[in-house]
Amino acid sequence: MAFLLRRCFTFFVTILIVMIMTFLVFRIIPGDPALTILGMDAEPEQIAALEKELGTDRPLYEQFLDWAGGVFTGNLGESLRFSQPVSELVIDRIPVTLSLAIMSIVITMFLAIPIGIYSAKKQGSWVDTALSITTQIGMAIPSFWLGIILMLIFGLTFKWFSPTGYVPWSENPSEALNSLFLPSLAIAIPQIAVVVRYLRTTMIEQLQLDYVRTAKSKGLKEKSILYIHVLKNALIPVITIFGMIFADVLAGSLVIEQVFALPGFGRLLISSISYRDLPLIQGMVVIIAFIVLLMNFIIDILYRWLDPRIELK
């Protein structure tokens, strides 16, 4: 219980810091929303009137408290550009970005874990060396470039997957899966490379330990030794990097959405920044931060479940 309380407290404080930072950053960097809306030739009176309407003429702390109060009561404010509540604009786009992120994580886990184990098992062989070179390359390639290449090969040449566009899950789940597969893969590949390398190292470390010898002396099959005895131990350090990977994946999907023309968070966020649509930007950043923190929270609990030596108190 003490653990959960402490964890909730840090969760809240982190969200607050993220809010303060996003709020301040867009007040410090040049570019005034009223000026952007009205254009460079606007009269000073017009600007002043709009600033009063938008509330940007008030002191910073007042503006912040106003906004923060809204956020904690579930009101993210209204977009300047679309004159629509931020929550409404965001809700349409969340499924696209979240689907991308979740699919990438799933692909990463399903490919990285068996490959990592295999590489550790074949330690020192030519397969291991080949895998090590491949993962090195995989880590070095930016995902947007991978996205373009995947689109070119599997979308345009072989036509196995739709190269661009998005079909909502509610309309046609298999089409939705099809449209999200290539971008998810593009995001996942560098992450797979990271996890494979990390898992390989921890597996090799674990394989030297006494309990593996005990497992062998019990006559267990190699499969149960690797996939149950060693993997459960090796996943403990690996699971901690999954928190970072999730943040990476979310950032990656913001970029990949541009490449595959997916109507997700990324496109809305980038266009809102150039428009100085402050309430929309702030709202989206808070939501992204919330998702990442929530994911880390889940990972923390998972970590405690995997390692019984840490008590869930």
Neighbouring residues of 188: CB distance < 8 A, sequence distance ≥ 6: 103, 104, 105, 107, 108, 111, 249
In order of 53, 146, 155, the CA distances from 259 in angstroms are 37, 10, 13
Mask for 228-267, x = binds another protein (CB under 8 A): xx--xx--x-------------------------------
Q: Is the dihedral of CA 58, 25, 258, 284 positive or negative?
A: negative
Shortest Å, Cβ 298 to another protein: 19
| Gap between the Cα atoms of 308 and 169, Å rounded | 38
| Gap between the Cα atoms of 105 and 102, Å rounded | 5
Choice from 69, 216, 261, 298 touching another protein (CB under 8 A): 216
By beta-carbon proximity to another protein, the closer residue of 53 and 222 is 222
Q: Are 254 and 97 in contact (CB under 8 A)?
A: yes
By beta-carbon proximity to another protein, the closer residue of 113 and 188 is 113
The DSSP 8-state label assigned to residue 78 in this structure reads B
Choice from 91, 218, 261, 298 touching another protein (CB under 8 A): 218
Kindly state whether residue 223 participates in binding another protein, applying the rule CB under 8 A. no
| Interface segment toward another protein; rule CB under 8 A; list 20-28, 57-65, 146-154, 222-230 | 222-230
Q: Which of 294, 277, 120, 286 is nearest to 212 (CA)?
A: 120
Choice from 43, 45, 171, 210 touching another protein (CB under 8 A): 210
Kindly state whether residue 58 participates in binding another protein, applying the rule CB under 8 A. no
| Interface segment toward another protein; rule CB under 8 A; list 96-104, 136-144, 213-221, 243-251 | 213-221
Choice from 203, 215, 245, 293 touching another protein (CB under 8 A): 215
| Interface segment toward another protein; rule CB under 8 A; list 47-55, 104-112, 206-214, 241-249 | 206-214
By beta-carbon proximity to another protein, the closer residue of 32 and 307 is 307
Kindly state whether residue 125 participates in binding another protein, applying the rule CB under 8 A. no
> What is the phi/psi pair of residue 78, to 5°?
-120, 140
Which residues are bridge partners to 300 per DSSP?
none
Q: What is the DSSP string of 250-308?
A: HHHHHHHHHHTT--SHHHHHHHHHHHT-HHHHHHHHHHHHHHHHHHHHHHHHHHHHH-T
By beta-carbon proximity to another protein, the closer residue of 74 and 308 is 308
Site for another protein, residues 293 to 312, rule: CB under 8 A: 306-309
Shortest Å, Cβ 276 to another protein: 51
By beta-carbon proximity to another protein, the closer residue of 16 and 312 is 312
The DSSP 8-state label assigned to residue 161 in this structure reads S
By beta-carbon proximity to another protein, the closer residue of 177 and 306 is 306
CB-neighbour burial class of residue 175 (10 A; exposed 0-12, middle 13-18, buried 19+): middle
C-alpha 15: how far from chain center: 16
Positions in the binding site for another protein (CB under 8 A) = 209-211, 213-221, 224, 228-229, 232-233, 236, 306-309
